[in-house]
Structure 1
């Protein structure tokens, strides 16, 4: 095995875009990068990985951690504000004592806020995919649903967005309450509220090795800001399709071979060990 080397540091706003490489489909790139990160964490932690997931939904739908956590017995603090999705999260993890589930939203200011989400009428018409689009930003959700409807040659109907009042907490308070001082992986999928989640606790205080932060649906304008916050806590940052992958080189070093694998690039003949 070659010497472990950290990923090169990247300075925002010009983050390298792995989706510019020659993958057949963006999905292949995302899966390759995700699997590399999960395997690197499993190895670095000796199989005892802990993670915090903000916006866990039902714990399965479009979840980047679910398969690895289930296969390797990881422990997690899973946070989901929508009461219906939280109920599904509880059912999916009912027999898993390693998971702690909390029904709230995360932001930098504690409050009670409206969570906007598609109705079951909208889900039935536009597909299960849109269940993952619930947001504290009503206009963001409307934009997602309108684009989804347009792709199907439809128009958004007046009764396809609902709201539910949810408890909003800071992440630092929740971590203190649960006694979770340190964890290895942070996953944030807050549908436009990622910045406020990052502001709600000290990124440098919990020994985090890696983070996956969603950055899509108009959040590209905030990419440099998200990356700057992560870099200030010691992380290097890459864009992987619609997510930011952040790795702390002092806690999770990847070899050149592993990086090549993530990028989907073949090694030259004779470059093996």
Structure 2
């Protein structure tokens, strides 16, 4: 048969420190295996990298959009961290996004920070990651060396002064990296019922919507498109939303395989998955 993949929140299909295994993100594997794929990614920078990667891949369709609660022509506001120097914060004492690339203790900078993938319909969701960066001694020391600045563990930028050029970095070099670099952009709402109208079925639905996974699954047209397996992330999902999601999947005929409250990987399989997929199987 012909296998097929729908991935909501596809990121850039690259290794990052956030999602880099087939277990937590089976999307890139599905594409490599030649599955018909629809990849939905709202963040402009991530979408651009995705589009560059699959420019010559005819079995992959790309959609720069968010999955909203209702199909609508009204764009929706999406929040993300801009790691370019668009905000003018490179060189600052506490918000230089280049320092995000120096998380690795082996001293080699990463190509992209996981923070680039923490994008959400909720500004508060993105902001809550800032607490990870209050003090980062090794991280800031590696960054100072990489961008040609001095480092001292005694340097603490005054919290109320505006971001300014710093000659010496200290352990708080990333303290404001999110609040000073957060941006919002208007993205269109994807209407999955329309996008998938011509699909016979979906082998694998993967959702990573930074805590909004329940509303994505609630708006997915299970009634119209037989779907064999669902993978979603519950790390940022509230417990009531998780319970609503499991109830929804039970109602749609899915059985639980792996996962739980606050688990990064949740896998549900349709009880009649062979029947669900048989329309496309050659006899």
TM-score (ref. length: structure 2): 0.65
Gaps of 5+ in 2: 85-95, 102-112, 137-170, 276-283
Residue number among 215, 218, 225 corresponding to 1:199 in the alignment: 218
Q: Which has the larger radius of gyration?
A: 2
Equivalents in 2 of 1:131, 1:216: separation in Å?
17
Deviates more, 1:244-253 or 1:224-233: 244-253
Whether the aligned pair in 2 keeps the contact of 1:118 and 1:161 (CA below 8 Å) is yes
User: Which among 94, 99, 102 is matched to residue 125 of structure 1?
Assistant: 99
> Contact between 1:212 and 1:245, CA under 8 Å: does it hold in 2?
yes
Q: 2:119: which partner in 1?
A: 134
Question: Superposition RMSD on alpha carbons, in Å?
Answer: 2.3
Q: Is the 8 A contact 1:182 1:208 kept in 2?
A: yes
SS in 2 for 1:95: coil
Partners in 2 of 1:160 and 1:252 — Cα distance? Answer: 47
Separation (CA, whole Å) in 2 of partners of 1:113 and 1:249:
35
CA change 1:190–1:209 in 2 (3 A) is: same
1:72 aligns with 2:72: no
- Say if 2:238 is the partner of 1:219: yes
* Contact 1:170-1:197 at 8 Å conserved across structures: no
For residues 246 and 151 of structure 1, what CA distance do their matches in structure 2 show? 39
Contact 2:205 2:231 in 1 (8 A): yes
> For the Cα contact (< 8 Å) 2:10–2:27, is it kept in 1?
no
Give the whole-Å Cα distance in 2 for the aligned partners of 1:235 and 1:54.
19
Q: Do the aligned residues in 1 keep the contact of 2:79 with 2:182 (CA within 8 Å)?
A: yes
Provide the secondary structure at the position in 2 that maps to 1:209: strand
Structure 2 residue matching 1:69: 3-state secondary structure = helix
Q: Say whether 1:143 aligns with 2:117.
A: no
Segments of 5+ residues of structure 1 without an aligned counterpart are 1-44, 254-273
Deviation sequence 1:97-125 (CA, Å, 0-9, x none): 11011111111222311110012156423
Within the candidate set 60, 70, 73, 1:99 is matched to 60
2:109 maps to none
Shift of 1:137: 0.5
Q: Is the 8 A contact 1:210 1:252 kept in 2?
A: no
TM-score, normalisation: structure 1: 0.68
Question: Does the 8 A contact of 1:171 with 1:197 survive in 2?
Answer: no
CA distance in structure 2 between the aligned counterparts of 1:218 and 1:72, rounded to whole angstroms:
30
The structure showing larger relative contact order (alpha-carbon pairs under 8 Å, at least 6 residues apart) is 1
